């Protein structure tokens, strides 16, 4: 806010004091208005770029990405591992993409399509296949699915299991099979 904007917010009595006799003098009131202006300058600069904080790809603070993960209910992926930090489970770029996709993914929660998309984003791998009604031996099994994923993602087994447990319907069982490319 500049000085004239601040003045427009003052009560009429104060405005009369400013306008009447002290046009060219510095009064206590004019000094206070200058101080108020100075106090707002930095805050207004931050407000001009506030949307950057809420975009996980542009946030100026790395720690804010994890905070945005809490906002989008993704902390359930790492809440047991707070001592180790989230980046031992999930890469920064994958977490950013998950945050951006959180609204879309929540619409598909409990479906194979949503689970598949969630796993692809979280692991950074497109080589994920979910086969409904099949166990790890290829036999038919009701209320069961098989997740086939690249051998390269084996180090993310813990993350994959957490995602499946939290995204699948309760009554459905599953197997994970790592396949060579």
Can you give the pLDDT at residue 45? 87
pLDDT by residue for the chain (181 residues), tens only, comes to 888 888 888 888 888 777 765 566 778 888 888 898 999 898 888 888 888 888 999 888 888 888 898 899 888 887 776 555 566 678 889 999 999 999 999 999 999 999 999 999 999 999 899 999 999 998 999 999 999 999 999 989 989 999 999 999 999 999 999 998 7
Can you give the pLDDT at residue 23? 62
DSSP string, the chain: --HHHHHHTS-HHHHHHHHTT-SSS--HHHHHHHHHHHHHHHHHHHHHTHHHHTSTTT-S-HHHHHHHHHHTT-GGGTGGGTTT-GGGTS-HHHHHHHHHHHHHHHHTTTSHHHHHHHHHHHHT-S-EEEEEEE-TTS-EEEEEEEEEEEGGGGGGHHHHHHHHHHHS-TT-EEEEEEE--
pTM, rounded to two decimals: 0.73
Can you give the pLDDT at residue 94? 92
Can you give the pLDDT at residue 24? 65
Can you give the pLDDT at residue 27? 80
């Amino acid at each position: 806010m500049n000085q004239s904007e601040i003045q427009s917010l003052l009560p009429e009595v104060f405005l009369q004091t400013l306008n009447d006799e002290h046009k060219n003098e510095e009064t206590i009131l004019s000094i206070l208005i200058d101080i108020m202006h100075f106090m707002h300058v930095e805050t207004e600069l931050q407000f001009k770029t506030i949307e950057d904080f809420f975009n996980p790809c542009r946030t100026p603070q790395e720690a804010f990405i994890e905070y945005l993960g809490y906002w989008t209910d993704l902390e359930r992926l790492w809440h047991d591992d707070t001592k180790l930090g989230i980046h031992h489970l999930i890469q920064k770029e994958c977490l950013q993409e998950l945050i951006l996709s959180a609204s879309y993914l929540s619409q598909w929660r409990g479906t194979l399509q949503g689970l598949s998309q969630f796993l692809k984003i979280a692991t950074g791998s497109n080589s994920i296949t979910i086969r409904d009604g099949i166990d790890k031996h290829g036999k038919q099994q009701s209320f069961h699915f098989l997740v086939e994923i690249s051998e390269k993602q084996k180090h993310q087994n813990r993350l994959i299991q957490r995602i499946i447990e939290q995204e699948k319907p309760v009554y459905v069982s599953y197997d994970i099979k790592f396949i060579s490319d």
